[in-house]
Structures are given as C-alpha cells and as structure tokens.
C-alpha cells in the first residue's frame, strides 16, 4: 500500500526584546543563572504582570511578514500545568483569541512552489531551563522564564522531510530579516515540534498523529521525520494502531522515544488571565508596524529578478540579510547587478565559507566591478584581482597595475598582434575565407596568447574580421 505523510509544525521563536514579556527583567541569553528574575517572572503570590508593548509589536510584525490577519482584539490565557521549569504553575499564552491568524509561508522544493498555510501565531512566555548535571541531579535557571515567545502553528500541509526543512529555512530567514529574533537554533531561540501522521494515499481521512519534541537542528528535524514516518507505516502494516503520544527525539541514537500520552487542550484548563486586560490594536497601529518592516527576502528576490538575475542567483542573494544588504550597498556605488552578483556568489560567498568574515568593503568591491564593467580588465583577471584584494587589502586599481593586468585596448598594439596572427596562420585564413567562419576562433586565441591574455577578446574579434574582409 502507498502512504502519504502529513506533517504540521509548531515553531517557537524567542523575541529579541530588551526585557521580558510581563516584567522589567533583562532578556539576555547566557547571563549568570537566575540573575534576571523578579517576583513577577518567578510567580510570587500577588505579583502582577505588565505586558511588554514591544513583544506585542514584534509578534504583529511576524504575523504581517507571514501574511496573517491581525486580530484587533486578542486575549491572554493561563495554560495550567506543573513542571519544575514553570514556577507559576501556569504559562501565560493565547488560545481562543491569538494575535495573528491564517497566514502562509511560501516554499520551493525541487523547483515547485508550495504554500504552507499557518493556522496562527500567538504570543506567550517561555519557561525556565532545566540543567541536568549528569550525575542524577537537576538545577533550574529561571532567566528564560518569562521571555517573550511567538508560537507559529502550521496547518498539516507539509508532506516530507524536505518540505519541512524548506519551510523552516524560509521561516528562519524571513524572521531574521524582520530583526525580531536571533533565530538561533543552537541557543534555543528557534525550536520546533513535529506533528506527524501517515494515511493510505487514497484516503482523505487524516491518520492519528504523534508529536515529536526536542528537535534542535534542521538536520534533526529531517532525520526525525524520516524515522517517524517509517515507524508509523511499519506499525500500521503490522496491524497495530498508532497511539497519539508525545515523543522525544534522540538525535544521538536516531530514534524517538515515548515521553507521555498526548494531552488535549482541555487538560490545561485554559482560562483568560484575570491579571491582564485584552490587547487592542488599531488598524493604524497595524499599518504603521507594516511600514516599519524592512524589505523581506521574497520582495527582494522579485527586485533582483527585475535586474535580470537568474532565479537561482536571486535566491542565493536573499539567503541572508547580511549578503543582500551587501549586494545593495555595492550596487549603490556601481549599477552593474549581474557583475556584482557574480562576484558575490562566486567569490565572496566562497571566501565566507572559509573564514566567516567579509574582508571586502562594498566600496572596494565596487571599484573592481567598475574595472570589469568598463572592460579595463577581463573577467578572468577580475577573479585574480579579487583573490589578491582579499589577501592583501590593496585596492583593485593598485593591484591591476602591480599585476600588469590592464587589458590591451590600444589599437596599434592590438593591430600588430592581429596582423601577425594572420600572417602566421595561412591555413586558418584560408578556412575562414572559404566560408568556415569558426576558424576565426583559432586566430583570436593566437592574439590572446601573444598579448599574454590582456587583449580584449571582443575587440580582437572585430579587428580580425575587419582585416580578413579587406
Ligand atoms: P495541539 O495544540 O494539541 O498541539 P493542534 O490542533 O493545535 O494541537 O495541532 C498542532 C499541530 O498538529 C498543527 O501544526 C497541526 O497542523 C498538526 N496536526 C493536526 N492534526 C494532524 C494530523 N492528523 N497529522 C499531522 N499533523 C497534524
Ligand atoms: Mg502541540
Ligand atoms: Zn522578572
């Protein structure tokens, strides 16, 4: 039997606000444990939360970036459960009336675009962090407790590990462009749960899902999905039923293990938090937040396509804000999008893989681009100069002189090479004259050789033709 995999993701993303969601404690990763805590975020009796306006704005920005509708009124609720990392014994979250609903994220897998619908994006607070000491003890750091989080919930529209990773990459990249989060999976500011079920391909009814937690890299998400879809199909083929449960993915052994049977939302006894008023956001406020969002990768890509770049090149340039900012900056000095894109994609990105620090200032690169654009040096020489610029920090103009790479555009000098090539290669000349026009290629090659690669090939071509037609 053929099966389809059905996946919905729940992504948690910590917002990069100065302070926590409901108190004035610092929101700082890596500080001394339990140094950023107060009666509010520790849940002392009687302490009252005050909503952080910035957190709401960031959540709305996320909603707008992912094409959601923003609810003018939203409500905070208490999600009640006990766990040592949650000192209040409830988490402030949103259930019935979240800030954002009904968006989508566009992905592209194997050249096929697909829209993954979002069910909602809501604002909530993070829990503290348990640290297991490895010899049987556990300590807790409440610094993270109360840090603002958005939870992004997709519809079950994802059908493979590849699509899930493409979704997460698109999501992460767009959030990075908005600047509302660091989206660092390794620091836990981006975390993902995978809900997965399988069903016979000819059935329209969704299967029973499991939820996998603890996925802290894209690779783990990929592996966990492939593992879990195979496990579920095997269970079904063996005549067993899938149990709805929460699994913990262990990336070291590459297996998922049962954590607990899956709870339903009624288990949490959600109710509106009596300490917090509903949040009202006017359409004007939403509009002004919308205008504050920098250009997102999807928009930038369209602009780059308009410059005549290929889809592939445009996509590469918008994979990181640092790179597209850099591209735009170089263009502000020299309006040669294709040449600039080639240098960035082939040279800068390659270098960045080795050393992570962009040593080439936008203006410096623009000088090199100008030389290539004006055909003062060839494209090949351009690469050579780039390499030396990166190494030595010298300017393009200085290096072109030093390396003697200036293209020969001087007509007299070129003409002497052209005449020599014609004299020395009577066979090619005869071929050309008898109609074998491609023979000119050999002659161009001879001139290039004589000029030690410095002749402008286009010009040589023209001059040869003119001489041969005489
Ligand atoms: P909960 O709040 O209990 O986790 P939700 O209904 O909010 O449940 O769904 C959580 C996620 O599970 C969503 O991303 C949703 O798309 C996904 N999901 C729901 N049903 C299925 C299913 N049968 N198979 C796979 N994913 C599912
Ligand atoms: Mg869930
Ligand atoms: Zn606090």
CATH number where 439 lies: 1.10.10.410
Ligand 2 centre distance from Cα of residue 10 (Å): 7
Q: Ligand 1 centre and the CA of 195: distance in Å?
A: 6
Shared domain for 207 and 356, answered yes or no, is no
Domain count, the chain: 3
Between the CA of 206 and the centroid of ligand 2 the distance, in Å, is 17
* Of the residues 225, 260, 285, the one at which a domain ends: 285
Give yes or no: residues 257 and 376 share one domain: no
**Same domain for 132 and 73:** yes
Give, for 442, the enclosing helix (H) or strand (E).
Answer: helix 440-450
Q: Report the distance separating Cα 143 and Cα 33, nearest Å.
A: 6
Per DSSP, the three-state class of 396 is helix
Q: Are residues 347 and 418 in the same domain?
A: no
Task: Provide the CA 216 distance to its chain's centre, in angstroms.
Answer: 16
Q: Is 179 left (phi over 0), alpha (psi -120 to 50) or beta?
A: left
- The alpha carbon of 226 and the centre of ligand 2 are apart by a number of angstroms equal to 20
SS3 call for 192: strand
Specify the 3-state DSSP secondary structure of 18.
coil
Atom 14 (ligand 1) nearest CA? 8
Contact 105, 118 (CB under 8 A): yes
All residues at 6 or more sequence positions from 83 whose CB lies less than 8 Å from its CB, including other chains: 127
Range of the domain at 453: 411-469
Rounded to an integer, what distance in angstroms lies between the CA atom of residue 64 and that of residue 59? 9
Q: What is the pLDDT of residue 219?
A: 93
- Nearest alpha carbon, ligand 1 atom 17: 8
Residues 34 and 176 in one domain: yes
Rounded Cα distance, 368 and 343, in Å: 10
117, 79, 116: which is closest to 96 by C-alpha? 79
Give the ligand at the shortest distance from the Cα of 79.
1
- Between CA 256 and CA 241 the distance in angstroms is 17
Judgement on whether residues 396 and 435 belong to the same structural domain of the protein: no
Q: Which of 263, 285, 307 is the last residue of a domain?
A: 285
Other C-beta atoms lying within 10 Å of the C-beta of residue 447: 24
Q: Which atom of ligand 1 is nearest to the CA of 262?
A: 3
Predicted TM-score (pTM) of the model is 0.84
User: 173, 175, 117: which is closest to 293 by C-alpha?
Assistant: 175
DSSP annotation of 399 reads H
Alpha-helix residue ranges (DSSP H) falling in 111-182: 161-178
Phi, psi torsion values for 38, nearest 5 degrees: -150, 175
By three-state DSSP, how is residue 142 classified? Answer: helix
User: Tokens representing 365?
Assistant: 């690169």
Whether 103 is in a domain gets the answer yes
The two tokens of residue 116 are 């993954």
Measure CA 127 to chain center: 26
Query: What letters, b where the CB count within 10 A reaches 16 and e where it falls short, cover 143-154?
Result: bbbbbbbbbbbb
Inside any domain, residue 290: no
Same domain flag for 303 and 433: no
Distance CA 395, CA 29 (A): 40
Domain shared by 108 and 10, yes or no: yes
279 φψ region: left (φ > 0), alpha (ψ -120 to 50), beta (else): beta
Q: Say if 345 falls within a structural domain.
A: yes
> What pLDDT sits at residue 449?
86
In a domain, 114, yes or no: yes
Tell whether 326 and 202 lie within a shared domain.
Answer: no
Phi, psi dihedral angles at 230 (to 5 degrees): -65, -45
Question: Which-ligand-closest: CA of 210?
Answer: 1
Q: How far are the Cα atoms of 41, 94, 164, 273 from residue 50, in angstroms, in the given order? A: 11, 16, 36, 12
pLDDT value of position 236: 94
Atom of ligand 1 nearest to the CA of 154: 14
What is the rounded CA–CA span in Å between residue 266 and residue 226? 31
Nearest to 62 by CA among 101, 9, 112, 116: 101
Residues 386 and 418 in one domain: no
Atom of ligand 1 nearest to the CA of 153: 14
How many CA atoms lie less than 13 Å away from 263 in the CB half-sphere?
11
> How far is CA 359 from its chain centroid?
22
Claim to verify: residue 341 and residue 419 sit in the same structural domain:
no
Please list the pLDDT of the chain residue by residue as tens digits (470 residues). 899 999 999 999 999 999 999 999 999 998 999 999 999 999 999 999 999 999 999 999 999 999 999 999 999 999 999 999 999 999 999 999 999 999 999 998 888 899 999 999 999 999 999 998 888 899 999 999 999 999 999 999 999 999 999 999 999 999 999 999 999 888 888 999 999 999 999 999 999 999 998 788 999 999 999 999 999 999 999 999 999 999 998 888 888 888 877 667 678 999 999 999 999 999 999 999 999 999 999 999 999 999 999 999 999 999 989 999 999 999 999 999 999 999 999 999 999 988 888 889 999 999 999 999 988 888 888 999 999 999 999 999 999 888 887 776 677 888 889 999 999 999 999 999 888 888 899 999 998 888 877 787 888 888 899 888 87
Say which ligand is closest to the CA of 88. 3
Residues 64 and 80 in one domain: yes
Separation of 84 CA from ligand 3 center, angstroms?
A: 17
SS (HEC) of 232-280: HHHHHHCCCCCCCEEEEEECCCCEEEEEEECCCHHHHCCEECCCCCCEE
Report if residue 348 sits inside a domain: yes
Tokens 């100065």 locate to 18
């Amino acid at each position: 039997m053929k099966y389809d995999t059905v996946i919905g993701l729940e992504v948690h993303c910590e917002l990069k606000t100065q302070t926590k969601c409901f108190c004035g404690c610092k929101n700082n990763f890596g500080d001394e444990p339990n140094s950023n805590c107060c009666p509010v975020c520790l849940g002392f009796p009687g302490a009252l939360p005050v909503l952080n306006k910035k957190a709401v704005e960031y959540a709305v920005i996320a909603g707008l970036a992912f094409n959601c509708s923003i609810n003018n009124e939203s409500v905070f609720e208490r999600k009640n459960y006990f766990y040592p990392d949650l000192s209040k014994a409830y988490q402030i979250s949103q259930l019935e009336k979240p800030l954002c609903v009904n968006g989508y994220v566009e992905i592209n897998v194997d050249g096929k675009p697909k829209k993954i619908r979002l069910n909602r994006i809501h604002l909530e607070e993070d829990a503290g962090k348990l640290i297991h000491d490895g010899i049987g003890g556990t300590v807790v750091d409440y610094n993270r407790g109360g840090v603002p989080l958005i939870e992004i919930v997709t519809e079950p529209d994802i059908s493979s590990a590849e699509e899930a990773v493409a979704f997460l990459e698109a999501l992460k990249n767009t959030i990075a462009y908005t600047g509302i989060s660091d989206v660092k999976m390794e620091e836990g500011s981006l975390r993902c749960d995978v809900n997965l079920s399988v069903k016979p391909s000819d059935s329209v009814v969704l299967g029973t899902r499991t939820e996998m937690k603890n996925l802290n890299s894209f690779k783990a998400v990929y592996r966990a999905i492939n593992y879990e879809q195979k496990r579920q199909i095997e269970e079904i083929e063996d005549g067993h039923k899938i149990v709805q449960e929460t699994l913990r993915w262990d990336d070291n052994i590459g297996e998922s293990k049962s954590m607990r049977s899956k709870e339903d939302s009624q288990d949490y006894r959600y109710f509106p938090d009596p300490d917090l008023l509903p949040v009202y956001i006017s359409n004007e406020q939403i509009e002004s937040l919308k205008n504050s969002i920098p250009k997102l990768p999807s928009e930038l890509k369209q602009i780059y396509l308009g410059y005549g770049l290929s889809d592939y090149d445009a996509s590469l340039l918008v994979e990181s804000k640092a790179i597209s900012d850099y591209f735009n900056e170089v263009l502000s000095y020299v309006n040669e999008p294709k040449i600039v894109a080639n240098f960035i994609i082939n040279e800068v990105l390659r270098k960045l893989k080795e050393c992570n620090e962009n040593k080439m200032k936008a203006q410096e690169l623009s000088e090199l681009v100008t030389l290539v654009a004006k055909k003062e040096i060839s494209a090949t020489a351009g690469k050579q100069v780039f390499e030396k610029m990166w190494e030595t920090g010298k300017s393009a103009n200085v290096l072109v002189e030093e390396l003697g790479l200036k293209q020969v555009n001087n007509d007299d000098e070129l003409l002497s090479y052209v005449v020599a090539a014609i004299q020395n290669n009577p066979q090619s000349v005869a071929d050309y004259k008898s109609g074998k026009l491609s023979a000119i290629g050999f002659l161009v090659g001879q001139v290039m050789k004589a000029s030690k690669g410095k002749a402008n090939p286009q010009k040589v071509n023209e001059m040869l033709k003119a001489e041969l037609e005489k």
